[in-house]
A and B are shown apart, each in its own frame.
Chain A
């Protein structure tokens, strides 16, 4: 990335944001917060915090408090303000008036300002830099969640359209046994079994194909084509063949993961340089020695690429296959039935579990990759 220092104009993005905080805080404090006529100033804690936020905004746009301590104070006050907003709106559901929205926007701008400042912190220790890099997307995500909560509760959007994060969280905690049973059925049985068999068999086939150049030339274009096809469509057929329980879902996962793994492994096995292969030959290495000591290690980055792609595909395959018929347990089953019953908070809870499982699965594969291919340039960066 190019990071050539330019003379920073005085009126930069943070300054604009600070003025935005000030303007919206003033608008919010003078307006009506909740119907019928509850002014913002009738909510003492909230108005005090927002006033502090506005003062910080003034200071910032005037050029004071432009240091790390000032930034941290802005962050802390923003957290307090968001907390009070969420708390107050819970007592006045669906009654939000313009004043409340102005306060929300002011708080949003303040958190944006905080992140904007944090991204420009310089001279941190490597560890602190890592923490900051982790905190920025985290704050972004939390901001989105808080905004979602405020809008849904404040505007009184009905549960059947979009439940609030709070409601989803409550549902998540209260129905852990159901979610765990679904997770077991879909992830621990179908996804893991299908993933292991699909990737494993593709790996073996790739090594066999690699010995026959004719097959390699013939299968690679087809493998590339297949990866563009809507393979998910075989789901109804697999359900017909293997029944309603998890083996049919595992079969879908096997088919979906097979071709990405095959194509990537074959490409990876071709990655070793002719020079390196010649060196192995001068050592009088056999085919298997060359394979294990040179070509497979060279292929690892490609193989892990496929494993990462497949971790996502496997989840999708298993869940969608459940739409076509399943016993009365499983994530896909739960999603489709609870949608029909308009229990959207349960659907979202299931999606949260799926997202968490998918991310952890991906992260686990990425971690193994980091350990196994520590020597590769992309890991040393």
Chain B
């Protein structure tokens, strides 16, 4: 390669490949290709079974590939089957319909967001307490951290059943599981953030004779904002997981988790995969949304990099 080529790429294609967009696209396409191959491989035994029963002996390979990609209840549905199912259940159904994925997503989303807001507020509150009290720092923080080594999702069914027993049902129990999962990253991040101002800045506030509250509003909180957004991104993803798992024990009534459970009961693999793909899209967009919010807020505060 000449030096000129190193400075200026020869074609737009080469420029694309040296960034991140090109490689990501290639990897995604590669993954989809692997998916197709796996679909054929995993569905082939059952398809051969069908042929054997129908008495068809020598089916051409191309025919078999086409058939494996179009089974009704495949071991692994092909990407286009999932795409068609998602299109069918989002665009072609009424939003209020029980069979519309939008309806189920909405239900999951509402408890995710409720839980996320409660978890974030709880996390910020705990962080403020911990930063301002030496005793709480020493006694509460170890428990906050070890609370996460506990597989908390295991308690999800119990929380739902118990809250149902005392008359709280619907949105709140699921939201509480989301709250539990999302408060932790926010607490840890905020404690770190509220402590991130340097000692010299805190001393400066003291020379201004600023009260503890003034130091908090004018120094600690602005410093903590980038940390808050970073942990909110983790928290909202955890909230969604909490909401989905929270829907499992309610007996598959509504929501993306319920779609997963119903799909697994009735062997509807296409339904499971479409719920899964949609959940991933929701998770990705929620994180991206927080990212946008972060950019806007930091730009307004003059802290963007």
Chain A interface residues toward B at CB < 8 A: 1-2, 4, 112, 115-116, 119-120, 133, 136-137, 139-141, 160-162, 214-215, 217-219, 221-222, 225, 227-230, 232-237, 239-241, 311-312, 315-316, 319-320, 323-325, 331-332, 335-336, 339-340, 344, 347, 350-351, 354-355, 358-359, 361-362
Contacts and interface: CB of A to CB of B under 8 A. Distances in A.
B233 A228 contact: yes
B267 interface: yes
Given A115-B135, A217-B20, A336-B249, A229 B283 contact: yes
Contact of A233 (B31, B203, B244): B244
B27 A339 contact: no
Contact of A230 (B25, B28, B241, B267): B241
B8 interface: no
Q: Closest 9 CB pairs between A and B?
A: A218-B23, A236-B264, A218-B27, A140-B139, A137-B142, A228-B237, A315-B151, A355-B150, A217-B23
A45 B157 CA distance: 42
B206 interface: yes
Contacts of B83: none
Nearest to A348: B158
Contacts of B152: 316
Interface stretch (B55-63, B159-167, B223-231): B159-167
B161 to A, nearest CB: 5
A112 B7 CA distance: 68
Given A225-B284, A312-B148, A240 B269 contact: yes
Contact of A218 (B20, B143, B241): B20
8 contacts: A2-B202, A218-B26, A222-B27, A239-B264, A324-B264, A339-B161, A347-B158, A359-B150
Given A217-B23, A218-B27, A230 B283 contact: yes
Contact of A119 (B134, B158, B273): B134
A111 B101 CA distance: 53
A251 to B, nearest CB: 13
A228 B23 contact: no
Contact of A320 (B24, B154, B203, B240): B154
A224 to B, nearest CB: 9
B295 interface: no
B20 A316 contact: no
B97 interface: no
Nearest to A324: B264
A325 B263 CA distance: 13
Interface in B230-280: 233-234, 237, 240-241, 244-245, 248-249, 256-257, 260-261, 263-264, 267, 269, 272-273, 275-276, 279-280
B162 A229 contact: no
Given A228-B283, A230-B237, A233-B275, 19 more contacts: A137-B142, A140-B140, A140-B143, A214-B17, A217-B23, A222-B31, A228-B287, A229-B237, A230-B240, A232-B244, A233-B244, A237-B272, A316-B153, A324-B264, A335-B157, A339-B158, A339-B161, A344-B158, A354-B150
A350 B245 CA distance: 18
B130 to A, nearest CB: 11
A276 B193 CA distance: 32
Contacts of B162: 160-162, 344
A362 B149 CA distance: 7
B153 A319 contact: yes
A111 to B, nearest CB: 10
Contact of A323 (B149, B151, B249): B249
A225 B142 CA distance: 30
B contact residues, range: 35 or more
A304 B203 CA distance: 36
A339 B279 contact: no
Interface of B: 17, 19-20, 22-28, 31, 75, 134-135, 138-143, 146, 148-155, 157-158, 161-162, 165-166, 195, 199, 202-203, 206, 233-234, 237, 240-241, 244-245, 248-249, 256-257, 260-261, 263-264, 267, 269, 272-273, 275-276, 279-280, 283-284, 287
B154 A324 contact: no
B250 to A, nearest CB: 12
A319 B154 contact: yes
B31 to A, nearest CB: 8
Contact of B23 (A120, A215, A229): A215
Nearest to A143: B139
A240 B267 contact: yes
Given A229-B280, A323-B248, A339 B157 contact: yes
B267 to A, nearest CB: 7
Contacts of A359: 146, 149-150
Contacts of B75: 240-241
Contacts of B202: 2
Contacts of A233: 244, 256-257, 260, 272, 275-276, 279
Contacts of B140: 137, 140
A163 B152 CA distance: 18
Nearest to B280: A229
Contacts of B28: 222
Contacts of A236: 260-261, 263-264, 272
B295 to A, nearest CB: 17
A228 B284 contact: yes
Contacts of A235: 260
Contacts of A332: 154
B251 to A, nearest CB: 11
B28 to A, nearest CB: 7
A361 B149 contact: yes
